[in-house]
Structure 1
Amino acid sequence: MMVFTKKEEIQKYLTRLKSKGQSVGFVPTMGALHQGHVSLVQKALEDNDIVVVSIFVNPTQFDNREDLDKYPRTLERDTKLLNSVSTHILVYAPTVNDIYDNRIESEKFSFGGLEFEMEGKFRAGHFDGVGTIVKRLFEIVKPQNAYFGEKDFQQLAIIKAMVKIHRLPVRIIGCPIFRELNGLAMSSRNERLKPEYKKVAPFIYKTLKSAKKQFGTKSAKQVTEWVEEQFAKHELLKLEYFIIADVETLKPVKRKSKNKLYRAFIAVYADDIRLIDNIALN
């Protein structure tokens, strides 16, 4: 397995591979890899001749400097994990300067309104940062296919919109949420959970499953109020938001329609660790 730190080097190497007709799949990550990332890489390996995994903690998508500073950086461990999966993986682990050329700032994007819902209301500038880094990585790697997990469903929808709006020649493939045995959605942030919070964090998915069951007979308003009540009674977990939204627009649903698909989205604080999750409702 090869590790590249400079865009010129990986571009040169990929150009040679593509000239031989090899297809390239891409899995962008911020490192601290876990089995959820591995599932994306394995899907990419099934579909492509070679897979590029980027490992880069992107400063422009953090609205909280402390969160950026505390984000785990485990490059050596990450590369060992990837090497155990396949030798047909290239790692791109650039420096901030290699990506941003000494100008660490986001481009301004319009994602058709998707950026103003849910996470967009609570994390100022987050999706401009996401769009900036993903677009730049696409321009560097130039993959045929790129893989993203559905845990960040809003991010997945926004990247699909960006690709369509900017006519980028890459196919975006969403992959199912990978969960721990207790149901907790796998996340690099889980590593930072204190033992008592790790123990109760599965309550998030348990509540989502109950909400899905209730959605069959109750209104979105009733389900939302029930979820809010459950977290209001919880001693350790603090609900930031729970929203039932239209899958296409990500706007909160006011009245259910048989012709639309809905998904429940949740953000919860476990001490100072912010956890997100979602579940398809119909």
Structure 2
Amino acid sequence: MRLLPAAAFVAAPLLVGAAPAFAADIAIETPVAVEAIQQDGWLVTLKATGTISPKFEGSGKYGVSGMPGLSVRRPNQPWKFGAPDDGFGFPVLDTAWFQAGPVARIRGERDSSDDHKFRGMRDIDWAIEPGLFVEFYPYEKIRVRGELRHGVWGHSGFVGNVSADWIERFDRLVISVGPRMEIGDGKFMDTYYGVNGPEALRNGRVSPYKADGGIKSVGFASAVTYDWTEHWSSTLFGGYDRLTGDAAKSPVAKTLGSKNALTVGLGVAYTFGVNW
């Protein structure tokens, strides 16, 4: 099972846990029963998520990874939807139909030893991508969200995500589905999908290639969340992404990896009240 390295493992809950009213990293929110009991203090949700997905950007090989999570909010704050692929963030502006605030994501490393086709290609470190998000509800069952982030460590480019979700809630059950799009600038795209001369020589299967900025991928995602008790809930989620533009034309995807990426995951959350 692929787990985050120590620094990223520590950073993940800190990115989520630095302030109240966070958007969920998986679509698990506090059950109504807990809110009825806890009227003051804070509601804390501890989360664990397991995912089957490509080992790294552009790879056609799949692996299992794990991610911890943490969210904190006031009991009287209204329920807000959180999709499995949202970045970790919290709203500074928060109304019934609009939210905006800081956000961050962790992007996995590329270790060429994980996929023999990538031998000779440069390794890429784990990246943390801080930035801003906005989301709004043009209709009570539709959420539109956008994120713009800048990479540190693994890459130094700008990357953004645009998503929309149709949300249905049936008592303890929440179902969501909607389209996805990811965009990157030239630095981001060339880091993950470009091939330099030494790489091409070492690998022997690819030619040098420079990837420019644009739309990296399009796809869709869906999730089903169920509150089993007043404390425990779980989320089953999945998604599909198809590389486009310079990412799809890159030998990283065409020759060494794949243009298609599937993700399936399961998250479990435990919620409890504290008086701080």
TM-score of the two chains, using structure 2 as the length reference: 0.23
Name the one with the larger strand percent.
Answer: 2
